[in-house]
Every structure is written in C-alpha cells, then in structure tokens.
Amino acid sequence: MQWRRRHCCAHTAKLLYLLSLLGLLVFLVNQVWLPRLTGLPWWRGHPVVYGGGLHTTKAKWNTSSHHTTWRLVIVPQATLKADANASSHEKEGVISPQGEPGLDNTLTANTSQTDEVTLSGEITQGPFPFIINEQDKCVEGKPAPFLVLLIATEARQVEARNAIRQTWGNESVAPHPGFIRLFLLGKTEGELGILQQRMLEAESRRHHDIIQQDFLDTYKNLTVKTLMGMNWVAMHCPQASYVMKTDSDMFVNTEYLIQKLLRPELKPKKNYFTGNNMRGFAPNRNKNSKWYMSPELYPGDKYPTFCSGTGYVFSGDLAGKIYRASLSIRFLHLEDVFVGICLAKLRIEPTPPPNEFLFNHWRVSYSSCKYSHLITSHGFHPNELLKYWHHLQTNKHNACINSNKERAGRPHSNRMHVEKPP
C-alpha cells in the first residue's frame, strides 16, 4: 500500500513538472517569439515588437537617464502657438489619432503639459553643434529640390555610401525635377574615431553630401540622427517638396518613387507621410530585446500608427512640424516609433501607400520585374546593390515582358521565376 502511494505521488509530481514546463514554454512563446500584432500575419512582424534573430545591442546614450526628454536637451525656445490662419490645403490629411483605447492618455503621458504643438515659427539649430554641414545645398537662386534623401549611416560604412552615390542616390537618376542626398552621421569616440573623422572630412570635401553633429553615433541615438536631418531640412531647405528618410543598407527605386508615387507634375502635398505602415503594434516588453520599451518610457499597450524606419516619405512642410512637435515629447530611442508619436501629437495619420508592397522592411527576392515596381527592399551589401541596380537599369523598360516570356516557356514549373543578374 505504501509502495502504491509513493508510486502515485511520483507520477503526480512528474505530471505537475511537465505542466509547469508547458506553461513556461507558452509564456515564452507569447512574450518573446510571437509578434503581438493586430490584424497582421506573423511573418510581417516588426522588430519593435518581435526581437527574434538579432542580438541585443549595448549602446551608449547621450542622455543621463531613461526619463530624459528630447525637449530637455534642446536649447530653450519660446512656446509658439499654431498658425490660426493656415490654409485649408495645409490642413489636408490632419485627422485625430487612431482611436485606440488609452492612446490619448499615453500621448499625454509622453508629452509636456505646458508646451503646445506649433505649426509655424522659426526653427533654430538643435542641441548638438554641426561638425560637418552642407548649408548651401539649397541656397537661394538654385531650383528647389523636389526630393531630399536623408540616409542614416555610420563613419565606417564607406563602401555603402559609395555604392549609393553610384546607384539610387545618384542625382542623374532624376535630373528633372531633381533631388539631393545627405548622409546623416554622429561621431565615434577614441583613436578609431579620430582616424574615421579625418577620412570622413576628406570624403565630405570630395562629395559634399555629409552632415554630422557632435553626438555619439550609436543605435540608441538614431532618433537624434533623424531629428538632425529634419532640422536641417527645416532650416536650410524648407522649399523642398518631399523628403525621404532611409538607411544605408537599402535598395531604393528613386525613379519609381518620384515618377509614380510623388508625381512632380502635380501640386506637392501637405501634411503627407507614407511608408510601410505599422498599425496596432505593441511595445516589446522583453528586456533582452534590442527593441525593448519599458512601461516607464511608454506606458501604453499600443503605439500610434508609424512607418518602418527603413524607409518613409513625407512632404517638405512636415520636417519642421515634426521637429517642433519633438521638442515637447519624451525622448524614445526607437526612431520610427518616436516619429509616429510626433505625428499623433500633430494629429496626422500616415497615409497607406497605394500598394502594400511598395515599401518593404524585409529583403525582397530579386527580379527586374518586381524591383521595377517597388520603392524599398532591405538588407543589401554594397556589392549586391551595385549588381542589382545596374541589372535593373538595363532591363527596366521590358523587365516584366522578359519575365513573362521565360515563365511561358516553362508551363510545367510550379516554382516562381526569380531572375538573377549576370
């Protein structure tokens, strides 16, 4: 009888142990590996929510605490009221936030109670001085650029910058209506930083397409880097019709962006912001994730709609508006989320692109047909960028015709044709 009791207790203990392991596994799957999305398939998970596959980055902050706000690091400026005389055209696209429960309260918690969002007034330089500047890119007397490309990069990424200069960032791609490129950089510390700085300044003298400020160039300062670009546009090139912020490992079809999406023959839009729209995304609460967001920094359950930082486009008037809004919003290291909060503060909803496959924050398998009809694809090495870009240029006028012919010649194949460059 005692043996049976001991045997029964042993089985019960094993069963409870297995159940606890199963519960722990379910918890980990829901907290770490599965994206907490609303209405989106799991494979479209964004790293803000889904931290799998990439290591945690231990980056330095330029701020003293996790509760530091961007407003507190800015040189104090007078509070400006919104322009009551703004035209109805300037107010196009301005709508209320998405109506998510608790979103208004979260935005209030993340913004100053005393500062008002300003839509007008003079923009002054931000908290960090320029080390390298190109303030004469848009001087009076020159035609206003249709598009300004703001490309986030690091000093060591020389090959990537050179590849972009030869491909999608080359002004000859769209000589009319014209665009300019600017690489955005912070500074690197130590002896390596001194060497990189000398090389960077020589590169700047040669190409005149670099702007750099005196902040540490780390992942967690990407928000600072992006705001530097927006501040530059507002101060030195406010007449630009459109601005695109993207990264140095991207493939950007600038010709398709300009001619098919922005359409220079039309009057430039106002309060326009588009890209890979991220709607209904939740903060990543996994402390081991690169994209961790603490409840103290952002207490809400969902972010306002934002666009993936790999590539988004906005009208030139928004550069100053977003920058001004940022002055009263608590600093967040997730750049695309922070910009989305600024838009929500301005009550501007990002516009969905006409085709959901135009802006891709993942790598799209190459074919000249697909790449002639998209705007961004992610994860390119400089050599790949050169190879695919030049192949696309030689095939763009009959890209889909050639692909259809080859598919027609293989009627029994169920595999999708992927055209490889030579």
Side-chain-facing half-sphere of 32: CA atoms under 13 Å: 12
CB contact at 8 A, 149 and 255: no
Q: In the prediction, which pLDDT does 18 show?
A: 73
- Structure confidence at residue 34 (pLDDT): 35
- Reported as type and span, the H/E element at residue 20 is helix 2-28
3-state SS string over 303-338? Answer: CCCEEEEEEEEEECHHHHHHHHHHCCECCCCCHHHH
Instruction: Parse the chain into domains and list their residue ranges.
Output: 70-345
Side-chain-side CA neighbours of residue 275 (13 Å)? 27
Q: Name every residue whose Cβ is closer than 8 Å to that of residue 295 and which is 6 or more positions away in sequence.
A: 283, 285
Beta-bridge partners for 211 = 184
Q: How far apart are CA 372 and CA 379, in angstroms?
A: 18
Pick the CATH number of 70-345 from 1.10.220, 1.20.58, 3.90.550, 3.30.70: 3.90.550
Pair of tokens at residue 305: 């709609």
Dist CA 313 CA 238 (whole Å) = 15
pLDDT digits (tens, 9 = 90+) for 70-117: 433 333 333 333 333 333 333 333 333 444 445 555 665 665 533 444
Tell me the β-bridge partners of 295: none
| Cα 375 to Cα 258: distance, rounded to the nearest angstrom | 10
Strands (E), 287-360: 306-315
Phi, psi of 271 (to 5 degrees): 55, 40
pLDDT for 417 = 38
**Short-list 223, 254, 245, CA closest to 314:** 245
58 Cβ neighbours under 8 A, 6+ residues apart:
none
**Peptide bond between residue 177 and the one before it cis (omega within 30 degrees of 0):** yes
Q: What is the pLDDT, as a whole number, of residue 123? A: 79
Q: Please tell me the pTM assigned to this model.
A: 0.74
Q: 121, 324 in Cβ contact below 8 A?
A: yes
Pairwise CA distance, residues 56 & 49, whole Å: 14
**Per-residue pLDDT reduced to its tens digit, 260-281:** 999 999 999 999 999 999 999 9
* pLDDT per position as a tens digit, 188-200: 999 999 999 999 9
In this prediction, residue 343 carries a pLDDT of 98
How many residues are listed for the chain in this entry?
Answer: 422
Half-sphere exposure in the Cβ direction for 172 (13 Å, CA): 5
**Residues of the chain under the 50 pLDDT cut:** 3, 29-101, 113-118, 410-420, 422
Query: pLDDT value at position 149?
Result: 98
- CA 341 to chain CA centroid, Å, is 13
CA distance 134 to 216: 20
- Alpha-carbon distance of 380 to 339, in angstroms, equals 25
